Structure 1
Amino acid sequence: MVIKALIFDFDGLLMDTETTLLDSWRAEWTRHGLRLDESTFFADHGGDTTDDQYALLAAAAGPGFDRAASHARRTAYRNERHRSLGLTAGMADWLREAEGLGLRLAVASSSRREWVAGHLARTGDLARFEVLACGDEVAGHKPDPAVYRLALDRLGLPPEAAVAFEDTPHGVSAAVAAGLRCVAIPNLYAHNARFGQATKLLQSAADCTLATLLADLEAAT
């Protein structure tokens, strides 16, 4: 079936909010004279892990830990970083190219709709996306395929008519479970060896044109 739509993950794929997240937590651990264990920082599932991260920091920092103050500092730090944060390398070109090819665009993210829409509006890219399907609209987070199924339902398309784009192994698993072909562009904190389920693996959206990529996908079916 001809590809009619592209469905993108958000965090780490369209925008590198993973680095700002890690940096904000690293700064808080350092403030308490502690070292964040970065090897276990990123979860193997979508959704919010804030409470878990604060529980770890509070246990390490001891009884004097002030979560409210920590959260205020961390949020302010991250918000400042986000003021100048744009799309990841090559992604703006892909989105423009997709529009020229007449492709429909969607986002399928485990994050809240307010978060996704706010960032895309800030960069002027929100109007490019016909559909947003977000974590606060489904019961399960990736690798649960619910958010991809919601995106397909809102597009009114079968999975064979769309391609997913992901930056994490659990995101790829969610897309594949929804019946989608999935192009993986691993984020800085995900190992390439864990993307065996992906239909195709790239290091960056800048590696090739979107037209070339889609032609390769269609030729392989």
Structure 2
Amino acid sequence: MGAMSTDQGPSLSAIVFDFDGLLMDTETTALLSWEYEWRQWGLTLDRSGFFADHGGSVAEERSAQLAAAVGAEFDRELSHRRRTRYREELHTRLDLRPGIGDWIEQAGARGLRLAVASSSETTWVIGHLERVGLLDRFTVIAGGEEVSGHKPDPSVYQLALRRLGIDAADAIAVEDTPHGVTAAHRAGLPCIAIPNPYVDPDRVGHAELVLGSATELDCGTALERACGQNP
């Protein structure tokens, strides 16, 4: 089956997905691992302000916050090893977010290519997709270490488009955060938002379509609505 066409212009040929919190709920494993590590020091993590309003790692800032709370006895290396080991154990049981596997199958049936544009490193994305047996479904992986700015900077989306060899008009993004939606728009892509459990849906209201879950609509209907067509 060929690429999906619209009445708006060139045919849609690719979907560019965010990774963390969108394809897989690594946001929850991050939160749980830090809460676990704070408990090891007899402390409780304050969840407020835990999630940043930009892409990229904030592990150093989180570690510094914990170090300040613990005081002189804090062992940064021990803490890092213990927390990452705990998170890796959580990841052994982590699968795609609900409905995402169906979207991947449905997009392939429509002849659409799939890409990832993530603020995380490419090795992180590749490792997770390999673990669930889906790496070969993605034509392009663009990672945060390959560009100079993290979302809402559009550079990782621009990199994904260059690797796909297409214009922004030929693709659509799928994101879970407000800064991700903004990055997609700045790169010229329309965007479907499926906010992760820690994002207020109102904050991604600037997306062309907002869903509570990928299970709400099949992929084709979601694409048609986001592109301004009737289902």
What TM-score do the two structures reach when normalised by structure 1?
Answer: 0.97
Mapping for residues 154-165 of structure 1, pairs under 5 Å? 154-165=163-174
Match of 1:106 in 2: 115
Q: How many percent identity over aligned positions?
A: 55
Amino acid in structure 1 at the alignment position of 2:81: A
The 5-angstrom pairing of residues 139-178 of structure 1 reads: 139-178=148-187
Q: CA deviation at 1:2?
A: 2.0
Structure 2 match to 1:197 = 206
Equivalent of 1:42, from 51, 59, 72?
51
Offset at residue 220 of structure 1 (A):
4.3
Deviations 1:159-202 (A, max 9, x none): 11101000011111100110100000000111111113211100
Structure 2 residue 99 is matched with structure 1 residue 90: yes
1:28 lines up with 2:37 in the alignment: yes
More helix by share: 1
CA-atom RMSD, angstroms? 1.1
Distance 1:25 1:10 in 2: 20
- The answer for the alignment partner of 1:51 in structure 2 is 60
State the 4+ residue runs in structure 1 displaced beyond 6 angstroms. none
* Total equivalences in the alignment: 221
* Alignment match, 2:6: none
Determine the C-alpha separation between the residues in 2 that align with 1:44 and 1:99.
Answer: 32
Q: Structure 2 counterpart of 1:188, which letter?
A: P
Q: Which runs of 5+ in 1 are unaligned?
A: none
Partner AA of 1:146 in structure 2:
S
Question: Aligned to 2:188, which of 163, 179, 191?
Answer: 179
What CA deviation, in whole Å up to 9, does each residue of 1:123-172 have, x standing for no partner? 00000000001001001000000000000111111111101000011111
The 5 A counterparts of 1:41-80 are: 41-80=50-89
In the aligned structure 2, how far is the partner of 1:206 from the partner of 1:2? 25
Counterpart AA for 1:2: S
